[in-house]
Amino acid sequence: MPIGSGLSTSLYVLLGFVGGYLLTLGGQSGSLFKFANQVAVQSPALQTPTVEAPPTALRVEAKTEGNGWNPRPTYSDWHKPSAMPGSPLVQFGDCRPFCDRERLKALLPEFLEVYKKRPFKINTCGQNVMHAFITYALARLLKPEVIIENGVNAGGGSYILRSGAPHARAYHIDPLDKPICDKRMKRWMNETNAKYLTGEKFVDFQKYDWDKEGIPKDKALVLFDTHVNDWRDTIEAAKKGFRWVYVDDNYPGHEPGDMKGMALKQVLSKQNDDSFQLWNHLEMYYEVPPLILLAEYMHNQEEWKKQFPKPQVFLPKQEIVRSNFVDPLDPMHAFTEPLLNMKNPTDKKLFEKIYQIVEDEGTCQHTTKPTFTTCPVFLAYTNMAIAKLRNPPTDGSFL
């Protein structure tokens, strides 16, 4: 999408470089920085794109210097998909096919058939129905030849992941040989075309010699569900030559949790060396939507609507670019628009099928008045995201 021509283009580019310079100096609250952002928001080139083109904003492009990549971004090629570090966001880069909402919805019926046959109905400390659908959908859409699951627990996620990519070579990695929360549960395992690096056989993803396996790293999906440093693991995956990473514990910036501020979403919300280094390794980042509007807010929906006229927020680039536009501590502005619109009859029927399954199985039985606004399986959503990593330099060097 072209920016324009003549004086207006020069002005926008000049302001972009000025804003980038101030950003590098840490002057994100400077008046000139704010002015540059506000002018950029008004640019015709920064209008919300059509459905076919994913949201775009400033391109964060790493300069090649010597044998490595410069961790400080420069701003150029505004028309390319990307965004600005230090801003609340849910997506940048070309997220297709994962953000094709109709394709996601089309996968729901087949997912439900898989979900009904899962090895245990209540997956303690494991994936609920929303997490499970996202896992299944990503595997179905990417069609990886290899899946590497870091964090197995009881194997509920393993079952969903393997169902979504039944022909993939699988690696399951976990330091424990039993479920972490309920020792009475027996871990689901399928050793066909799979290797389990668990218990006494455990080898950390970072230390394992993936080259000796001879796997196509560019066609592998690496899942991190370990509740430890996803920032470190994602960068290490990039250094090893992997291209696709899926993170489960992707907590927002206001909630450090057991990720201690090092979930990808938390790091991307900052402006520091960790954030810039992560940006240098990412080509695409997309938080897959929850099935419905977060249930924990449904009880106060009318009041919420008064405060936030557009509660279903898929951040357009105007909000991504102007970092002072929203409160980064406010989680309302950092969620992808839910997949299902409960006011749409077709979407509502799809959700009723999902709810009927969890209700019939007694998943919500411990709630006093089970509804989709109180059932725990619809409360949890942790901004699960898929990321495409940049190719490392040909000489093997990587920051």
- pLDDT, tens digit, 9 for 90 and up, residues 86-111: 555 788 889 999 999 999 999 999 99
The answer to whether the bond into 109 is cis (omega within 30° of 0) is: no
Instruction: Kindly calculate the radius of gyration of the chain based on its CA atoms and give it in whole angstroms.
Output: 21
Predicted pLDDT at 363: 65
Residues 6+ apart with CB under 8 A from 283: 93, 388, 389, 390
Lowest-confidence segment of 10-24, 112-126, 145-159, 358-372 by average pLDDT = 10-24
Quick check: pTM over 0.85?
A: no
Higher-confidence residue of 270 and 256: namely 270
pLDDT at residue 308 greater than cutoff 50? no
Residue 112 has a pLDDT of 95
Q: Is the pLDDT of residue 149 over 90?
A: yes
Residue 377 vs residue 207, higher pLDDT:
207
**Which of 282, 295, 375, 382 is CA-nearest to residue 335?**
382
- Domains, the chain, ordered by start: 6-92 (no CATH), 101-314+331-389 (3.40.50)
Per-residue pLDDT averaged across 297-305, rounded?
46
- The residue with greater pLDDT, 14 or 44, is 14
What secondary structure does DSSP assign to 234-269, as a single string?
HHHHHHTT--EEEES----TT--GGGTT-SHHHHHT
In DSSP notation, 212-233 reads GGT--GGGEEEEE-SSS-HHHH
Beta-sheet pairing, 244-247 with 385-389: antiparallel
**Higher pLDDT, residue 166 or 358:** 166
Q: Say how far residue 40 (Cα) sits from the centre of its chain.
A: 26
Nearest to 339 by CA among 349, 327, 347, 331: 347
**Does residue 162 register a pLDDT over 70?**
yes
- Under the banding of pLDDT at 50, 70 and 90, the label for residue 270 is confident
Scored b (16 or more CB within 10 A) or e, 242-269 reads: bbbbbbbbbbbbeeeeebebbbbbbbbb
Query: Is residue 315 classed as helix, strand or coil in its secondary structure?
Result: coil
- Give the whole-angstrom CA distance, residue 180 versus residue 125: 8
Q: Is the pLDDT confidence value at 9 over 50?
A: no
Residue 255 confidence (pLDDT): 60
Q: Mean pLDDT across the chain, nearest whole number?
A: 70
Give the span between the Cα atoms of 323 and 260, in whole angstroms: 23
Give the residue-averaged pLDDT of 289-315.
51
User: Phi and psi at residue 312, in whole multiples of 5°?
Assistant: -90, 95
Residue 324 has pLDDT above 70, yes or no: no
DSSP SS3 for 47:
coil
Quickly count: other Cβ atoms within 10 Å of residue 75's Cβ: 21
Distance CA 165, CA 160 (A): 9
- Interstrand relation of 282-287 and 385-389 (parallel, antiparallel or unpaired): antiparallel
- Please tell me the distance from the alpha carbon of residue 335 to that of residue 319, in angstroms, as a whole number: 13
Distance in angstroms (rounded) separating the CA atoms of residues 253 and 266: 4
Phi first, then psi: give them for residue 374, nearest 5 degrees: -120, -20
In angstroms, the first-to-last Cα distance of the chain is 31
**Which residue is it, tokens 């409960």?**
342
Reported as a single tens digit per residue, the pLDDT across 223-249 is 999 988 999 999 999 999 999 999 998
